[in-house]
Amino acid sequence: MLYALGASSIIVLLSNTTQGTELFNKLQATDILFTTASDLWEPFILYSFVAIVFFLFYHKLSGIAKELLFFSLLALTVTSSVQLAGVLVVFVLLIVPAFLSLMQKKFAPLAFSWVIGSCIIILALILSYQLDLPTGYTIVFIASLIGVLSALIKGDKKTK
């Protein structure tokens, strides 16, 4: 999360300079605003297939077979997602909501991850639009910042 926070903060800070974004354009966070509806059909079909396979077979397996199925399906979805959004965006949207859900004990972890991940994306999109910032990097920055601050706040409470 610290790496993603640092990398995205560089882009956010340099986004309004003449050559700042160009210099860091290759840092692997695509501007997801340029994803078209036609770009989403292939991932939609893939994710539907992954969901069906997961729900049909995952609970029936155990041990190494269960792990192999999970990580194979994860590899398929991550590879497809990286092509659309970039490595950093996919990374923070996989890690931060799960991390935050594991830090809390009040709500069901999966539902909490979905809700908090959606809230992070919506907040980042609004900030990106309002402040005229690159969308992909703003998502990475906001998600990383929330994750790091949550860890610091939660960690601070444990030491008292």
Residue recorded with tokens 């300079």 = 17
**Residues 52/113, Cβ–Cβ less than 8 Å:** no
Mean pLDDT of 119-145: 93
For the full predicted model, state whether its pTM sits above 0.75.
no
Range of the domain at 140: 2-159
At 33-79, the pLDDT tens digits run: 777 888 889 889 999 999 999 999 999 999 999 999 999 998 888 88
Domain count of the chain?
A: 1
- Mean pLDDT of the region 107-118: 94
Residue bearing the bigger pLDDT, 21 or 138? 138
97 close to 120: Cβ distance less than 8 angstroms: yes
